[in-house]
């Protein structure tokens, strides 16, 4: 597992770095970013928070616009930001921005033409954690996970299927029930085929209905988010969490949209939430 | 003076907006961004801090990557970010990124082919302030100015030539003596011609040598900035300020480069510096 350093930049007393490696899961080069806070530069093993990005994004969007370093530096958190799909000339793609490259949905595709490379579930749950554990000063006993939109879906489903791995779970404007909304109803048949039992293992609401449990979740959702009513539908998560006894803190943020201006406004709250539990 | 609203986005309890207008100074459409903090949304007139950007930038770079809104919202500062030059098909340009579009150097060009549109001095010192005063809840008696690189040059020269207008002055990695370094020695003859007396009116070190005074200046400069030794040379400013009795706080930030990762690491300090004086 060789890591190529793309860049390292001093920021907020820590180091913002970008790395490239050849993924065995996807069979492609993959790029991700890691912010190492001052505490870790000083030799301490630090807790790690995973940030999974949304449709069309790479590692770069949140790295440039997320405004997380000020708080990660204060709180001593390592922040890891993966890409959202395999990429490149030999990798399948779709004309739409909500399928294919930039839209991996954090699943292991089983269907043509996606199956050869679209193995983002294995990448973010197995390969990248092992790589991070081997190369960075992380305490893997203290992990949190968050994400935005499709990445919020990724964060919730990963956390629900690895109970105990993450001591803190949050999301910004997550797709909480992809099997019930147009984005998932396009991506899931393409990647996973027609059998909806496979879909349910990648749908946070369905996973909870089927018995998956975590203690608590923080979700922020902007009320001016253009995807709120037809793609995100946080009330579905609120309802199933209430039934399942999961302590969901769902904050509807008045007037906020789906952009990084929304994420960056509340990332401080999220990282403080994670740090308090890590 | 009609303002077209390009976008308004809720952020950190305030509003990040982008506007377009037809500039009488440049004779072109110009775009700028304004962050209005919660205090101003509540009806208060707030102090304004001008941020002038560097080579190749538009209003968008600092607006997306500057991480200033968290602090502007807390401190009640309106932040205005102009573009760095006129732009468009009918506007002169150069093959290099350090002359022409994206590189206006905050001067009024007198030479062909630049003179018709490159009137950034008039734009940032007269036209845009009048526009901002007319359209936004600003207290023009409480103005601060800052900028990065070429924009740091702009901030320093504007402040030195309008003594009393700005109660607070800072810069990130400014070009302090353009007439003595390659960037200025390319841009100044192109825009201003061969008469170096014209150059001196757009060179912070020369302006101070020639008698211009402000009470105090804050400058941050990264030690790993690749432009430090041949383009920026902050010691020239330190020397002339010492002679002139200007209280310069020059902070050399170990390991920081010339990027927004540097700016965003110290923007909190700068905005607190401005707020304390506004």
Nearest to B58 by CA among B112, B119, B103: B103
Q: Are A129 and A36 in contact (CB under 8 A)?
A: no
Separation in Å, CA B107 to CA A227, B13, B159 = 45, 35, 14
- Residues of A with CB below 8 A from B254's CB? 10
What is the average per-residue pLDDT within B208-215?
Answer: 98
Whether B258 is catalytic:
yes
Q: Which residues of B are less than 8 Å from A11 in CB distance?
A: 256, 261-262, 264-265
Q: Do A70 and B268 touch (CB under 8 A)?
A: yes
A133 Cα to chain B: minimum distance (Å): 25
**pLDDT tens, A58-72?**
999 999 999 999 999
Among A9, A64, A265, the residue with its CB nearest the CB of B64 is A64
B60: closest chain A residue by CA: A65
pLDDT by residue (tens digit) across B240-261?
Answer: 999 999 999 999 999 999 999 9
Closest partner residue to A70 among B13, B67, B260, by Cβ?
A: B67
pLDDT at A42: 85
Q: Is B225 a catalytic residue?
A: yes
B58 vs A: CB within 8 A? no
Q: What are phi and psi of B46, to 5 degrees?
A: -115, 155
Mind telling me how many Å the CA of A265 is from chain B's nearest CA? 5
> What is the Cα–Cα distance from A71 to A46, expressed in whole angstroms?
14
A260 contact B CB<8A: yes
Which pLDDT score, from 0 to 100, does residue B144 have?
98
**A251 close contact with B: CB closer than 8 A:** no
Is the model's pLDDT at B111 over the cut of 90?
yes
What pLDDT score does B42 carry?
Answer: 85
Mean pLDDT of chain A, nearest integer: 97
The mean of the pLDDT values for chain B is 97
Closest in A16, A65, A253 to B261, CB measured: A16
Q: How far is A129 from chain B (nearest CA, A)?
A: 26
Contact A256 B10 (CB under 8 A): yes
Rounded to a whole number of angstroms, the distance from the CA of B136 to the nearest CA of chain A is 20
* Average pLDDT score over residue span A116-145: 98
Q: Which residues from B are below 8 Å from A12, CB to CB?
A: 264-265
Residue B211: per-residue pLDDT:
98
Q: How many helices (H) and strands (E) does chain B have?
A: 11, 9
Residues of chain B with Cβ-Cβ distance to A262 below 8 Å are 10-11
Q: Per the omega criterion (within 30 degrees of 0), is the bond before A113 cis? A: yes
Q: Which domain holds residue A251?
A: 3-276
Which one from A59, A258, A270, A274 is the annotated catalytic residue?
Answer: A258
pLDDT of B1 strictly over 90 = no
Give the nearest partner residue to A9 out of B69, B254, B259, using CB atoms.
Answer: B259
Say yes or no to pLDDT of A91 above 80.
Answer: yes
pLDDT band per the 50, 70, 90 thresholds, residue A171: very high
- With a pLDDT cut of 90, the percent of chain A lying above it is 98
Q: Among A9, A16, A67, select the one facing B67 at the smallest CB separation.
A: A67
A contact residues 191-250, partner B, Cβ 8 Å cutoff:
222, 224
| Cβ atoms of A233 and A181 closer than 8 Å | yes
Interface test with A, best of B8, B10, B270 (most A CBs within 10 A): B10
Distance from the B17 Cα atom to the nearest Cα atom in chain A, whole angstroms: 11
Of the pLDDT bands very low, low, confident and very high (cuts 50, 70, 90), residue B269 is: very high
Q: CATH number for the domain including B94?
A: 3.40.50.1820
Tens digits of per-residue pLDDT, B159-185?
999 999 999 999 999 999 999 999 999
CA distance B91 to chain A (A): 31
Among B11, B69, B265, beta carbon nearest to A11: B265
> Is A9 close to B65, i.e. CB distance below 8 A?
no
How many independent structural domains does chain A possess?
A: 1
A94 belongs to the catalytic site: no
Which of B16, B222, B259 has its CB closest to that of A261? B16
In this prediction the ipTM stands at 0.93
Residue A231: band (very low, low, confident or very high) from pLDDT cuts 50, 70, 90? very high
Look at B10 and A261 and tell me if their CB atoms are within 8 Å: yes
Q: Inform me whether the pLDDT recorded for A132 exceeds 80.
A: yes
Residue A4 has pLDDT above 90, yes or no: yes
A14 in contact with chain B, both atoms CB, cutoff 8 A: no
Q: Which two tokens stand for residue B230?
A: 């041949």
Bridge pairing between strands B14-22 and B29-36: antiparallel
Q: Please tell me if residue A69 touches chain B, with a CB cutoff of 8 Å.
A: yes
pLDDT at B2: 86
Q: What angle do CA A68, A74, A78 make, to 5 degrees?
A: 60
Whether B146 and B52 have beta carbons less than 8 Å apart is answered as: yes
Residues B94-109 have pLDDT tens digits of 999 999 999 999 999 9
Pick the residue of A9, A255, A259, A268 with the most B CBs within 10 A to test the interface with B by mutation.
A9
Question: Residue B43: what pLDDT?
Answer: 85
Residues 6 or more apart whose CB falls under 8 angstroms from that of A55 comprise: A84, A97, A98, A102, A103, A149, A150, A183
> Quick one: average pLDDT of A245-262?
98
Q: Which of A83, A225, A270, A274 is catalytic?
A: A225
Residue A106 vs residues A109, A160, B167: alpha-carbon distances, Å = 9, 13, 52
**How far apart, in whole angstroms, are the C-alpha atoms of residue B159 and residue B262?**
23
Q: What local confidence, expressed as pLDDT, does residue A1 receive?
A: 64
Give the model confidence (pLDDT) of B27-59 as tens digits: 999 999 999 999 999 888 999 999 999 999 999
Q: Is the pLDDT of residue B274 over 90?
A: yes
Write down the pLDDT at residue B204.
98
What is the mean pLDDT of the segment spanning A205-227? 98
């Amino acid at each position: 597992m060789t890591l190529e350093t793309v860049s390292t930049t001093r920021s907020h007393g820590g180091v913002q770095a970008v790395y490239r490696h050849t993924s065995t899961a996807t069979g492609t080069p993959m790029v991700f970013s890691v912010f190492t806070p001052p505490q870790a530069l000083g030799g301490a093993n630090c807790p790690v928070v995973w940030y999974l990005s949304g449709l069309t994004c790479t590692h770069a969007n949140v790295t440039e616009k997320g405004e997380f370093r000020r708080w990660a530096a204060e709180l001593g958190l390592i922040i890891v930001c993966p890409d959202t799909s395999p990429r490149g000339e030999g990798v399948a793609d779709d004309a739409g921005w909500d399928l294919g490259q930039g839209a991996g949905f954090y699943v292991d595709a089983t269907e043509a033409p996606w199956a050869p490379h679209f193995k983002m579930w294995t990448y973010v749950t197995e390969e990248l954690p092992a790589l991070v554990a081997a190369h960075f000063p992380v305490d893997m006993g203290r992990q949190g996970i968050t994400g935005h939109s499709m990445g919020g879906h990724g964060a919730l489903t990963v956390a629900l299927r690895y109970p105990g791995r993450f001591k803190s779970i949050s999301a910004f404007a997550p797709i909480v029930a992809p099997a019930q909304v147009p984005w998932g109803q396009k991506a899931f048949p393409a990647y996973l085929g027609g059998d909806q039992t496979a879909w349910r293992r990648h749908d946070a609401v369905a996973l909870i209905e089927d018995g998956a449990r975590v203690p608590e979740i923080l979700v922020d959702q902007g009320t001016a988010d253009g995807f709120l009513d037809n793609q995100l539908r946080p009330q579905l998560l609120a309802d199933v969490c209430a039934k399942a006894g999961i302590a969901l803190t769902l904050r509807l943020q008045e007037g906020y949209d789906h952009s990084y201006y929304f994420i960056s406004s509340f990332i401080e709250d999220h990282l403080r939430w994670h740090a308090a539990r890590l």
